[in-house]
């Protein structure tokens, strides 16, 4: 089974994904961005695109890889990835579903103000790439194809995770960490997501 966590940049996809991984036995986080970084590092500059999702090979490789992992791995695959183009969604999620792969899709929804505040809290400056994508993400994710929206403006990461688990009837492991350990885990997750790209 795949749990795809969608949403604008700053919606909390990565934190929710790693929290789910901590609390769902036999689970892993799969990051489709890694294939995008691989493509950009291995093709001529002359044919690079501004957004790696626009490469048909990015969509095809992620579809193939997720299908392979699902067929070989007896666990839950958690995918934190902003995907707002309905055609691209169909080329990955739609094809997986057509192949019989269970893909549970959730959109972490938040207001523009909340998204901007969250991006600032993780060190992004005003008019960062992520902030410039907010309007496009809100508009794209409001389409009917992107179902199961979770309003997160007033939710903690724990509440988001518990909401997803409840909707999927998944029993989560108890979380016995204290506030300091939870905060430390979130910082580690955030640091792991910092990309140093040429």
pLDDT digits (tens, 9 = 90+) for 107-119: 999 999 999 998 8
What is the fold of 2-192?
Rossmann fold (3.40.50)
pLDDT in tens, 43-75: 999 999 989 999 999 999 999 999 999 999 999
The domain locations on the chain are: 2-192
SS3 6: strand
Kindly state the average pLDDT of the residues 133-147.
93
Separation of alpha carbons 163 and 188, rounded Å? 23
- In tens, the pLDDT along 14-27 reads 999 999 999 999 99
Structure tokens at 156: 């903690």
Helix, strand, or coil (residue 22) = helix
């Amino acid at each position: 089974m795949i749990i795809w966590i969608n949403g604008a940049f700053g919606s909390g996809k990565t934190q929710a994904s790693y929290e789910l991984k901590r609390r769902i036995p036999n689970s892993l986080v799969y990051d489709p961005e890694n294939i995008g970084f691989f493509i950009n590092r291995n093709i001529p500059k002359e044919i690079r695109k501004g957004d790696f999702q626009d490469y048909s090979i990015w969509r095809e490789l992620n579809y193939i890889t997720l299908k392979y992992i699902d067929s070989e791995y007896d666990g839950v695959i958690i995918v934190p990835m902003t995907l707002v183009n309905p055609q691209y969604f169909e080329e990955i999620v739609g094809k997986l579903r057509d192949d019989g792969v269970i893909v549970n899709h959730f959109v972490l929804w938040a207001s523009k103000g909340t998204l901007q505040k969250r991006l600032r809290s993780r060190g992004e400056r005003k008019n960062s790439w992520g902030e410039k994508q907010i309007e496009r993400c809100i508009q794209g994710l409001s389409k009917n194809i992107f179902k199961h929206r979770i309003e997160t403006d007033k939710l903690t990461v724990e509440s988001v995770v518990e909401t997803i688990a409840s909707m999927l009837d998944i029993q989560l492991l108890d979380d016995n960490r204290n506030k300091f350990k939870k905060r430390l885990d979130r910082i580690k997750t955030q640091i792991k997501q910092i990309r140093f790209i040429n």
